[in-house]
Amino acid sequence: MRDAEDSLSRDGQGLEPPTHVAVIMDGNGRWAKARGLPRTAGHKKGVDAVRRTVEAARELGIGYLTIFSFSSENWRRPEEEVSDLMSLLRFYLRSEIAELHKAGVRLRVIGDRSRLSDDIIRLIDNAEQLTAGNRVMTLVVALSYGSRQEIAAAARRLAEEVAAGRLDPAAIDEAALSARLYTADIPDPDLIIRTSGEQRISNFLLWQAAYAELVFVDTLWPDFTKRDLEAAIEEFHRRERRFGATTASR
């Protein structure tokens, strides 16, 4: 991996990277099916794509990369597939954390951990503690994550604080709710990429994505490369971001 300062502009693209890029990784199953392979093979190739994308994001100078690895709805998949995905997660947490730490990458995991096994929770806790001081890039893994559930839980915490007399209802605003989300200390995404040609965000960062640019690419996740990431960033820079305001020319 190259130094974090090696941004898009230094790679000859003439563009500064977004601060926060989020990715909905889709297409593992279709990748495997097209090759006559079991879905597990697609998920394994998807792990390779995660590795490539983390490295590419760091090389391009992206400060935060969030990957949607397992949704709250994914628990409804066949038990065997869920078990295989959890095994891959264990493998990643055991095999990749030392390299992430060496590269200066901080790991954050967001989502509902109550449904995860104790050994996976321990692996996550250890990885987060080991990398907590790293500042080159933050890798956010959305795991057992659903945005509606996240917002509901934040609202519930606000209600509990009001009921306990610790919070004035009049003080509840957007900032108050944002401070109680999993991402309270993480900037909102500038760019959300979804692979495999699907054009929806599937209960992912709904609150945080209010002003994110959405880029949908046909590439299946196992085939996603640094060039795909660069192309999405180039598309991001072609957009006019007004955050609800109008420009003088309009």
* Beta-strand pair 64-71/137-145: parallel
pLDDT one-digit tens code per residue, 34-44: 999 999 999 99
Contact 46, 222 (CB under 8 A): yes
Is 69 annotated as a binding-site member?
A: no
Residue 240: predicted pLDDT? 80
Instruction: Write down the pLDDT at residue 14.
Output: 61
Query: In terms of residue numbers, what domain contains 146?
Result: 15-235
**6 within domain boundaries:** no
CATH number at residue 215: 3.40.1180.10
Model confidence pLDDT, tens digit, residues 139-157: 999 999 999 999 999 999 9
Task: Confirm whether residue 196 is marked as ligand binding.
Answer: no
And the tokens for 202? 């599937």
- C-alpha to C-alpha distances, 202 to 46, 145, 157, nearest whole angstrom: 19, 11, 24
200 is in an annotated binding site: yes
DSSP symbol at 10:
G
Per-residue confidence (pLDDT) for residue 4, from 0 to 100: 40
- 34 occurs within a structural domain: yes
Is there a domain that residue 123 lies in? yes
* Residue 203 among the catalytic residues: no
Identify which has the larger pLDDT, 4 or 104: 104
Residue 237: pLDDT over 70: yes
Q: Which of 3, 6, 11, 26 is catalytic?
A: 26
Contact, 205 vs 189, CB < 8 A? yes
Residue 114 labeled ligand binder: no
Average per-residue pLDDT in the chain?
93
- Name the band, by pLDDT with cuts 50, 70 and 90, for residue 246: low
7 within domain boundaries: no
Does the pLDDT of residue 168 top 50, yes or no?
A: yes
The pLDDT of residue 8: 53
Is pLDDT of 7 > 80?
A: no
* Model confidence band, residue 12 (pLDDT cutoffs 50, 70, 90): very low
Give 17's DSSP letter.
P
Tell whether residue 43 is among the known ligand binding residues.
yes
28 is annotated as contributing to ligand binding: yes
Quote the distance between the C-alpha of residue 250 and its chain's center: 34
Is position 37 within any domain? yes
- For the segment 145-172, the average pLDDT, to the nearest whole number, is 98
26 is an active site residue: yes
Secondary structure (3-state) at 18: coil
Q: Is residue 250 part of a domain?
A: no
Q: State the total domains in the chain.
A: 1
Does any domain span residue 111? yes
Residue 250 vs residue 220, higher pLDDT: 220
Query: What token pair was written down for 180?
Result: 């109680």
Tokens of 214: 């959405």
H/E segment holding residue 140: strand 137-145
Residue 65 lies in a domain: yes
pLDDT at 114 exceeding the cut of 70: yes
Model pTM score: 0.91
Among 6, 11, 74, 203, which one carries the catalytic annotation? 74
73 marked among binding-site residues: yes
pLDDT on residue 15: 78
Cβ burial of 172 (10 Å; 0-12, 13-18, 19+) is: middle
Model pLDDT for residues 73-85, shown as the tens digit of each residue: 999 999 999 999 9
